[in-house]
Structure 1
Amino acid sequence: MRDYLRRFLIAIIMAICVSLLFLGGRHSQAAAPEELKEREHWVWPADGVISDTYGTRRGNHKGIDIAGKMDTPILAVEDGQVVKSYYSTTYGNVVFIKHPSNFVTVYAHLNKRLVSVGQPIRQGDMIGYMGKTGRATGIHLHFEAHQLEWRYDKRFAFNPEMLLGRMAVGETVQGGIAAMGRDVLEASAQLRPLLEEKFSDPVTERYRVKKGDTLSAIAVKVNVSVARIKVLNHLNSDVIRPNQILIIR
């Protein structure tokens, strides 16, 4: 009888522990995006046009698609470390980056990968070139974001536009531009002729905005006019923010 009671008590304790772990995991998963909204400033990973959004295809599309030119630079949205870099029959050339916030971002269908496993990454670093490798119908970047870890069933996937800014299919985005609140900073709803010029330029120099920088100060520092910087980056105002990536020539 005593042995039966001991086993019964052990079973109850184990059940309580499992329940607490489950509830704690669910709480972390639900809270993460809201907490990051306040402190994370991701930048868009590529220049191009939004061709598909999160949750389409009967809920099976667990990312966003950015269509663009072959070999468009792909940028890391935030600091982190490469945890996977390989070729997949579905993702094609793909890179996974783990961020200090315990988020994992996925960059798929790349024409070429420029980083390897274990490599530290800074926000705005080029990690590859846009392509159509793997199971892709056209040239684009398939970008995913996951809480805690990437899983085959994509259980922890969430809409990356929660941290990038809301965009609709057909709107253009610019790699390196950060979100401000719910709106994307200086993202145009129409393709501009200069976008084609920028895509075809084989050499692009970029500048990461530092705290206290102004467009005029940056122009003097890099010896490029303010007007030219605004044209290259499709800026309609002088508003810039720390960690924003600017094309300077």
Structure 2
Amino acid sequence: MRDYIKRVFIALIMALCVSLLFLGGKHSEASMKVDKEVRDGWIWPADGIISDTYGTRMGKHKGIDIAGKLNTPVLAVAEGQVVKSYYSNTYGNVVFIKHPSHFVTVYAHLNKRNVFVGQKIKQGAIIGKMGKTGQATGTHLHFETHQEEWRYDKKFAMDPEKILGKADPGETVTGGIAASNDDVLEASLHIKPQNEDKIKVKNKQYIVKQGDTLYSISKKRNITVTRIKELNHLSTDLIKPKQILNVN
């Protein structure tokens, strides 16, 4: 009888382990789906050089640092709503944006903040200027990505490069670059003030649609492919839906 009970007990333990593995797999799969949806269209937040990456400083650095010139425009990586905009002793001038994907992005050490709490932000809007306020040793943008919410313990922090694309320390990045899978596509520098005249912007820019090519766009807007590539600093003919191109 004791042997029978022992076998049943072992079987129950094994069943529990298998179910936990299954649940873990489902959780990972869900996370991967979120990442794929979010990364389709996010842009780099500023021009500069990667000076530090996620997980350094014994795991305490929960973002990436982009070093650049004072007052370099800082862009919203995606549309969303400003949930915090204030001055912190550590972050300095900092802006938090909540996105429809439920991610929260953080833009710290700004020299100037251009947005207020509750303001709805479009992708590429200038939310501030790069600085060295708070606990910063030099001019740079400290950028963080959090799933669901930002917490003081940064429990939900995630490496921004999983969405923006991989960039090693010393590499130059450009505000307006969009990520797609594991490759980085060059896009136009999507910098514009929140109140810029919409008609003027529409005439000067083109939003790439499914099936578009540089050739088809050149015919629509009466401009050469070479000129489109020059205006947008494109080194290849590769473009993607929702990409913003300068065409004038």
Bin of the TM-score, shorter chain as denominator length: 0.7 to 0.9
Change (3 A) 1:133 1:34: same
Count of matched residue pairs: 208
Partner of residue 68, structure 2: 68
Partner of residue 177, structure 2: 177
> Matches of 1:86 and 1:222 in 2, distance apart?
42
Q: Which amino acid in structure 1 is aligned with residue 226 of structure 2? A: A
Please report the TM-score for the alignment, with normalisation by the length of structure 1. Answer: 0.73
Partner of residue 46, structure 2: 46
Q: Which amino acid in structure 2 is aligned with residue 135 of structure 1? A: Q
* Range with greater deviation from structure 2 (220-229 or 59-68): 220-229
> Matches of 2:108 and 2:27 in 1, distance apart?
24
Change (3 A) 1:33 1:144: farther
Partner of residue 121, structure 1: 121
> Matches of 1:138 and 1:246 in 2, distance apart?
32
Residue 135, structure 1, aligned to residue 135, structure 2: yes
Unaligned runs of 5+ in 2: 1-23, 190-200
Q: Which amino acid in structure 1 is aligned with residue 230 of structure 2? A: V
Q: Sequence identity of aligned pairs in percent?
A: 64
The alpha-carbon deviation at position 74 of structure 1 amounts to 1.0
Partner of residue 243, structure 1: 242
Q: Which amino acid in structure 1 is aligned with residue 207 of structure 2? A: V
Answer yes or no: is the 8 Å Cα contact 1:33–1:162 preserved in 2. no
The alpha-carbon deviation at position 115 of structure 1 amounts to 0.8
> Matches of 2:151 and 2:26 in 1, distance apart?
17
Please report the TM-score for the alignment, with normalisation by the length of structure 2. Answer: 0.74
Change (3 A) 1:111 1:245: farther
The alpha-carbon deviation at position 83 of structure 1 amounts to 0.1
Question: SS state of the match for residue 128, structure 1?
Answer: strand
The alpha-carbon deviation at position 139 of structure 1 amounts to 1.2
Unaligned runs of 5+ in 1: 1-25, 188-194, 196-204
The alpha-carbon deviation at position 216 of structure 1 amounts to 4.8
CA RMSD of aligned residues (A): 2.8
Partner of residue 6, structure 1: none
